């Protein structure tokens, strides 16, 4: 048992140290299942989600009804682990999630992330047509330092696995949650993206553009 526990832990530790963060034998845009699911045990994760009551807001399979609680289904495991670490350390703040993440161990985070990342991926009910949003998503606006969302979050918002970690899935996410996060990045209420990249992008966006992007992306 000790041996298995160690073996189970080791890849997680390496992942945290960034040792396994470089995809081996696959392109950055197409992560292998192992990279998406990470080092955790999905079945243990399912049990932990239930015993911790995460499903009350996020749904057992990672799609909950509360529009401010993000869908977690099909999200990258290492992104989920990072967010749970950030809530625990205070790098990302939210009254409910800070409390929910407080008692989770490294194993808990890896297992829960494995469970949600292996669920049927989130999706929207068709992109809401918006020229403003589509343009920003695909082309960005270089005069205002807005990089195209597509370059990191992928053509259809499915995100991508990168050497530095993962660019999260945003396509098909709840509209209310997306809008809230873009506002939070802009107001620096959320500051946990590497190099402050999401803060500098969101600061250039108007209210109207945030509204349009959130609707457009949630439909993907």
Q: Where do contacts with ligand HEC occur on this chain (CB under 6 A)?
A: 52-54, 56-58, 68-70, 72, 80, 82-84, 94, 96-97, 100, 112, 136, 146-147, 149, 151-153, 167-168, 170, 178, 180-182, 192-194, 197-198, 201, 213
Q: How far is the CB of 1 from ligand HEC (least distance, A)?
A: 25
Nearer to ligand HEC, 127 or 178 (CB): 178
36, 77 Cβ separation under 8 angstroms: yes
Choice between 20 and 167, CB closer to ligand HEC: 167
Q: State the Cα–Cα distance between residues 64 and 71, nearest whole angstrom.
A: 6
Residue 28: HSE in the Cβ half-sphere, 13 Å Cα cutoff:
14
* Contact (Cβ atoms closer than 8 angstroms) between residue 101 and residue 64: no
Rounded to whole angstroms, the Cα distance separating 209 from 206 reads 5
The residue among 20 and 64 lying less far from ligand HEC, judged by its C-beta, is 64
Closest to 116 measured CA to CA, from 157, 153, 64: 64
We find the least distance from the C-beta atom of residue 3 to ligand HEC, in angstroms, to be: 28
The smaller minimum CB distance to ligand HEC, of residues 20 and 152, is found at 152
């Amino acid at each position: 048992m000790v041996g298995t526990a160690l073996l189970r832990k080791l890849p997680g530790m390496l992942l945290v140290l960034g040792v396994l963060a470089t995809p081996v034998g696959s392109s950055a845009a197409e992560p292998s299942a192992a990279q998406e699911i990470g080092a955790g045990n999905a079945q243990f994760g399912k049990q932990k989600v239930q015993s911790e009551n995460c499903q009350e807001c996020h749904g057992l399979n990672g799609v909950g009804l509360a529009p401010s609680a993000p869908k977690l289904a099909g999200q990258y495991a290492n992104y989920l682990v990072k967010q749970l670490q950030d809530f625990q350390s205070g790098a990302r703040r939210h009254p409910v999630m800070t409390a929910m993440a407080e008692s989770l161990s490294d194993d808990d985070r890896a297992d829960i992330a494995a469970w949600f990342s292996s669920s049927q991926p989130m999706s929207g009910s068709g992109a809401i047509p918006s020229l403003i949003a589509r343009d920003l998503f695909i082309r960005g606006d270089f005069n205002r330092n807005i990089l195209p969302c597509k370059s990191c979050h992928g053509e259809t918002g499915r995100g991508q696995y990168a050497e530095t970690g993962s660019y999260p899935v945003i396509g098909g996410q709840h509209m209310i949650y997306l809008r809230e996060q873009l506002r939070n990045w802009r107001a620096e209420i959320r500051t946990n993206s590497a190099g402050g990249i999401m803060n500098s992008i969101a600061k250039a966006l108007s209210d109207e553009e945030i509204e349009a992007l959130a609707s457009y992306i949630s439909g993907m």
